[in-house]
Amino acid sequence: MGLFDIFRKKKNNVEPESTTTSESLSELQSESLSQSNSETTTSSALTQPVMEQVGLVDEHEADEWSKALDKKSEAIHDLPESESESESESESESESESESESESESEIEVERNEQQVYDEGLKKSRTGFAERFNRFLANFRTVDEDFFEDLEETLVGADVGFDMAIKISDELREEVKLANAKRKEDVRDVIIKKMVDLYEADGVNEDTQMHFAPNGSTTVILFVGVNGVGKTTTIGKLASKYQQAGKSVLLAAADTFRAGATKQLQEWGERANVPVVAGKEKADPASVVFEAVAKARDEHYDILFVDTAGRLQNNVNLMQELEKMKRIIQREIPDAPHEVLLVLDATTGQNALQQAKLFKDSSDVTGIVLTKMDGTAKGGIVFAIRNEMHLPVKWIGFGEKASDLREFKPDEFVYGLFKELVS
């Protein structure tokens, strides 16, 4: 089953359930509670004054009823230990089943929360996509050359990239289903299915996992990217996540040229209770990296995150500096860095794609961290990165809090982006 089929199945199964109003749920709960209370009132042992008051029995009958209950209570207390143990075991089994059900509900809640995060984080991107497609479909009359030109313009405007827009258009020209499509909704579904199918095909054998050092040695993760994309903030969020997961984390403030970069990382370190290795302002970044790597190795830290400068206006020097850092890291820990994560601002669209090309050519990038997806991002940049760069998006950011940085899940992304467009 393809990603698009999973997406449609998920939409058909999930969406109807979400239409149940809170008022309806409240009414159902009230009815159930009322029935339960009614059964309890008629079958439970009522006290004598209450029974007399409601007129169930007269005074003599109530007295006899009370005596019978007292005898029953005494009999229960005199039960053999084996029977008492049996009841205890039954209660224990019941509690165990209850705990199991609670764990199951907890897992469902976690999954639901993940869906909600993607749903809320992609709201602006989803709205932008819908508006563009609706404008495109408003002019739809027939599948002709003008149709494909408008489609390409719509896709490029959605940041899917020129190459992918042309590829989608060319493949749709040969799509039999599109030629037979009469309704605008059918045309829209065929186009989105083609986008999702190509996105899935481009991701075959894609390595989306984070890689760590073997045998418990220090994992070194290098972060690269231009200034202003959220690189330092991303490091702080990941440091918080891994520290809470029980890992010992160390940060290296190797961006010594940007004013405030070291202080910003130190603030994140304090917030996450994680130490930071920092040098003086304008110090050689490589010297900071050397000190941090030696400390991480000698004191057996699990993970070392290295922040770097991002002076794009001086590309040659920047890339030379990154190469120098890598040589120092590998001299101390031969198999490091274990990850080189490129941080990109999703709201910059095609500029982000150009940055990815630049850093991939010079930094051996292993994965992408896509930030600010909750902003004015058009969403299509994820398609362009996979199609043109063949780099996996490993993390995606939807906000300022550490919990807003999530592992990238392609199925949740596709669902969150297109769920209101596909019928």
**Residue positions forming the annotated binding site:** 225-232, 307-311, 371-374
Q: Coil, helix or strand for 252?
A: strand
Cis peptide leading into residue 334 (ω within 30°): no
Helix (H) or strand (E) holding 222: strand 219-224
Q: Coil, helix or strand for 30?
A: helix
Name the maximum alpha-carbon separation found in the chain: 103
- Which 3-state string (H, E, C) describes 238-249? HHHHHHHCCCCE
> How many CB atoms lie under 10 A from the CB of residue 133?
21
Determine whether 289 is exposed, middle or buried from the number of CB atoms within 10 Å of its CB (0-12, 13-18, 19+): buried
- Which 3-state string (H, E, C) describes 110-165? HHHHHHHHHHHHCHHHHHHHHHHHHHHHHCCCCCCHHHHHHHHHHHHHCCCCHHHH
Alpha helix positions (H), 203-281: 231-244, 261-272
Annotated binding residues for GTP, as ranges?
225-232, 307-311, 371-374
Q: Coil, helix or strand for 327?
A: helix
Residue 262 CA to residue 300 CA, distance in Å, equals 23
402-422: string of b/e by CB count within 10 Å (b at 16+)? bebbbebbbebbbbbbbbebb
Residue 416 sits at the vertex; the CA angle it makes with 414 and 417, to the nearest 5 degrees, is: 65
Provide the β-strand partners of residue 340.
222
Residue 396 DSSP class: E
**Is residue 221 within 8 Å of residue 305, measured between CB atoms?**
yes
Determine whether 69 is exposed, middle or buried from the number of CB atoms within 10 Å of its CB (0-12, 13-18, 19+): middle
